[in-house]
Amino acid sequence: MTGSTRRSSGARHGGFAANSYRTEAIVLRTRDLGEADRIVEALTPEHGIVRAVAKGVRKASSRFGSVVEPFMHSTLQVARGRGELQTITQAQLLHPYGSALAADYDAFTAAAALAETVQRVAAVDDVGRAAQYRLFHGAVAALARRAHAPRMILHSFVLRSLAQAGWAPSFSACARCGRPGPHAAVNVGLGGAVCLHCRPPGSSHPAPETLALLGALAQGDWDVVDAAREAAQREAAGIVSAYLQYHAERRLVSLSVLDQGITGPTPPRPARPPAERSA
């Protein structure tokens, strides 16, 4: 009887362990559910984007309601469900990034664009998920402590995330033939800077300082980024936005909000070649 009880208890414990896991996470966004619950979407290093219900967190008596707000960095205990939605059973705050970002409109809007980028450029394997999480965590932390201009943190993250996804731009060598630069033209569809021989019609011709800034953003060279003039930052922002739009195949809402503060026309979305569209 005792042995049977122990075996039964072990099975239940093993079943619980198999259906529950603990993970570090940063909340991307939330949505109210019913009268007291909330659906939380969070980025994790092992599981990518997790969607889970935090029950009762909108009640005044909730123990971890503020821990699962956007851009809070926490440790979550998550129980797997039968469908897509899981359940958050415990949450412990690690860093209150969301509180710092909520006090700065530009930083919070840039963080929203970071979150939207993660949702559009999703990692496909364990290595990619871990790398994307490290990039996202670093960018959110930098925004929270105001380490650099919010738009520059965002655009560096976008370029580096696209590189992790296999769409690394080139701003030094020609993106088509590999000829060493610097070059005077950029073509988003070809993947960055292009030389005189490879430059197709419709390529843009940014200032040399802008090309240097784009390379620095892709490499995380913050000395060059922080020293860039506002005109170069604006021109680089337009190119990065167009590059992300080309690969995400739609314009991000949060980037549109940010672009309202950038003078000049919004770059058009480049058309994909027919062969690429049918691939």
- Do 141 and 88 belong to one domain? no
Query: Residue 264 belongs to what domain range?
Result: 101-168+206-278
| Length of the chain measured in residues | 279
- Do 11 and 107 belong to one domain? no
Contacts of 102 (CB under 8 A, 6+ apart): 108
Residue pLDDT, tens place only, 122-181: 787 899 999 999 999 999 999 999 999 999 999 999 999 999 988 999 999 999 999 998
- How many structural domains compose the chain? 2
What's the pTM value of the predicted model, to 2 decimals?
Answer: 0.83
Residue 117's closest CA among 178, 167, 171, 77?
167
Q: What CATH number has the domain bearing residue 54?
A: 2.40.50.140
What is the rounded distance in angstroms from the CA atom of residue 174 to the CA atom of residue 201?
15
- Do 24 and 151 belong to one domain? no
Residue pLDDT, tens place only, 54-113: 999 999 888 888 899 999 999 999 999 877 899 999 999 999 999 999 999 999 999 999
Within a domain: 66:
yes
- Do 65 and 113 belong to one domain? no
Within a domain: 194:
no
